[in-house]
Amino acid sequence: MRRGRISATAQVRLAAALGLGLMGVARDANADLRSEASRLAARYRELGATVLKAESHFLSAGRSVRVRTSLSPTTNTPCLTWIALGVRGAAFSLERLASDDAALVAPGHGEDGPEPEDELEGQGAPLIERSTRAGVAALTSCFDSAPKGGLDVGLVLASPRGAVEVIVVAHRGGLPPVDEVILERAQGPIPELVEPLPPLPVALLAERARSLSEQARRDGAGAVVSSVMPSRADGTGERAVRLEPGCHRLTLVADSGGEPADLDVELRTRGGAEPFRVDRSHASDARLELCLDEARAFELRWAGAGGALDVMLLDAHFERPTLPGTWSPAARAAVASVLWRRRAPRLGAPSLEWRGVAGTTRVPLRIEPGACYVVGLAVTPGDARDAFEPGGEEAGAGARLVVQVGLEFYQDVAQEVPRGAAVAFCAGASSLAGVTVEAHGTRVLSRVAVWRLRGPSP
């Protein structure tokens, strides 16, 4: 292939070709809108209405166009409807300003005229109709007598740019809505807004603490330690906590006297810019879960206690899953956390493990048909920093673990610090799997381990 500068003639031809292509796309879109407008006008004529005007407009954001309409003094169709059709999702509006000599009343689609509550409060008041999700805006005005002057309606586009078809129809009585004539313009049912129910009352602090402790022990907790901490007048507070090696379920309970509260909590290292664990759900209790390979000091912060009230911290301690001793404490904590939260069975020594760096790494994996496996991933800083220390959490922006077995994919995303992910799968009839690790960030290391759970079925 020859390389070089494009001649002036070739540039002109290329620009013309691109321009014609873009014009073709615009013409196709406009043709569809024009076809719908023609179908709508034809249907309204069948119903005895008079189509006074049909216009096409192409507007940019914030631009408007004036649509002028007039009625004959002898007209027997005292209602006017302006209909604008745009592409789905386009945002535009129709605005009608009544003339001083026009007895303008609200749209009345029956011979008995408008209901009293539908009357406009004064002449000259603006009447605006905005487009629906289906790209339709319709504005109707009915008159006791035909106005002497012209009627102006403004079409204003809020989308970046687009084509809009406008038709003006004079009629007596009602007209079927656009989505009944052009079925593809139906925007679907809109759910009715329902006021949320008031929150349910909660049990007293002692009863809730007892129930949470019993639940933790049923889940396998070896011990549950409680401590009471005061809140400030605005319902916030903080406390330094030291967590021992193992897995922890930290539950914060507000002493709100049976009234529901919205308690939020976060766990930070001292001096850390970002929290390691956060619970901002709308609930009276807040819960955090994490695993540690060694004892560490944290700062617990909370808000939403409902005033200067006590909160109780329940620390349920669980046994940490065993991981290779050659891994760093942060890497062991990362994979242990995800395995523990997903209630993985007790795992022995991994059958295979490897290291990786930042970027995408793909590794083929020999598997035994009928066997099941667990793949764990840890992403930690590649320098001397610790993931738990200030700045260490910024070394890795996240990671994704993907395992492909035949035509099936299994994936997990490592987001919380320390960043860990895990997937479980069974080989079925396959003897080969593919493991892909996408580690984002700078100066990061990834550790991957594979455990075989059981052999093929007999």
Residue 288: what pLDDT? 92
**CATH class in words for 329-454:** mainly beta
- The pLDDT of 50-73, averaged and rounded, is 80
> Quick check: helix, strand or coil at residue 2?
coil
d(CA 195, CA 185): 29
Question: For 121-135, 159-173, 190-204, 436-450, which range has the lowest pLDDT when averaged over its residues?
Answer: 121-135
> Quick check: helix, strand or coil at residue 33?
helix
Contact at 8 Å (CB) between 374 and 350?
A: no
- The pLDDT of 84-98, averaged and rounded, is 82
What are the residue ranges of CATH 2.60.120.380 in the chain? 31-179, 205-318, 329-454
Contact at 8 Å (CB) between 355 and 446?
A: yes
Contact at 8 Å (CB) between 49 and 175?
A: yes
**CATH class in words for 31-179:** mainly beta
Most confident among 118-127, 400-409, 441-450 (mean pLDDT): 400-409
Q: Which residues pair with 324 in a beta bridge?
A: none
Helices within 137-223 (DSSP H only): 178-181, 205-218
d(CA 14, CA 381): 50
CA distances 133 to 130, 212, 321, 390, Å, are: 10, 47, 52, 47
Tokens of 72: 């004959």
303 pLDDT band (50/70/90 cuts)?
Answer: very high
Q: How many residues are listed for the chain in this entry?
A: 458
- The pLDDT of 46-55, averaged and rounded, is 88
For residue 293, report the phi and psi dihedrals to the nearest 5 degrees.
-95, -15
Residue 392: what pLDDT? 47
| 168 contacts: CB under 8 Å, gap ≥ 6 | 51, 52, 53, 54, 67, 69, 80, 81, 82, 83
Residue 98 has pLDDT above 60, yes or no: no
Question: For 113-117, 203-207, 272-276, which range has the lowest pLDDT when averaged over its residues?
Answer: 113-117
Q: Which fold has domain 205-318?
A: Jelly Rolls (2.60.120)
Q: Is the dihedral of CA 346, 352, 357, 358 positive or negative?
A: negative
Contact at 8 Å (CB) between 302 and 311?
A: yes
d(CA 214, CA 224): 9
Question: For 78-92, 374-388, 409-423, which range has the lowest pLDDT when averaged over its residues?
Answer: 374-388
Please classify residue 85 by burial: count the beta carbons closer than 10 Å to its beta carbon, then call 0-12 exposed, 13-18 middle and 19+ buried: buried
Residue 391: what pLDDT? 47
Please tell me the number of Cα atoms within 13 Å of 309 on its side-chain side.
Answer: 20
CA distances 246 to 19, 298, 340, 378, Å, are: 66, 15, 10, 17
Q: Which residues pair with 153 in a beta bridge?
A: 67, 96
Please measure the distance between the N-terminal and C-terminal CA atoms of the chain and give it in whole angstroms: 61
Contact at 8 Å (CB) between 151 and 75?
A: no
Residue 386: what pLDDT? 52
d(CA 441, CA 194): 44
Contact at 8 Å (CB) between 181 and 43?
A: yes
Q: Which residues pair with 171 in a beta bridge?
A: 79
Pseudo-torsion of CA 431, 341, 421, 269, nearest 10°? -160
- Chain centroid to Cα 50, Å, comes to 46
Question: For 1-15, 61-75, 375-389, which range has the lowest pLDDT when averaged over its residues?
Answer: 1-15
Most confident among 130-134, 207-211, 380-384, 437-441 (mean pLDDT): 207-211
| pTM for this entry | 0.55
CA distances 215 to 147, 283, 395, Å, are: 76, 18, 37
- The pLDDT of 222-249, averaged and rounded, is 92
- The pLDDT of 288-306, averaged and rounded, is 89
What is the residue-averaged pLDDT of the chain? 78
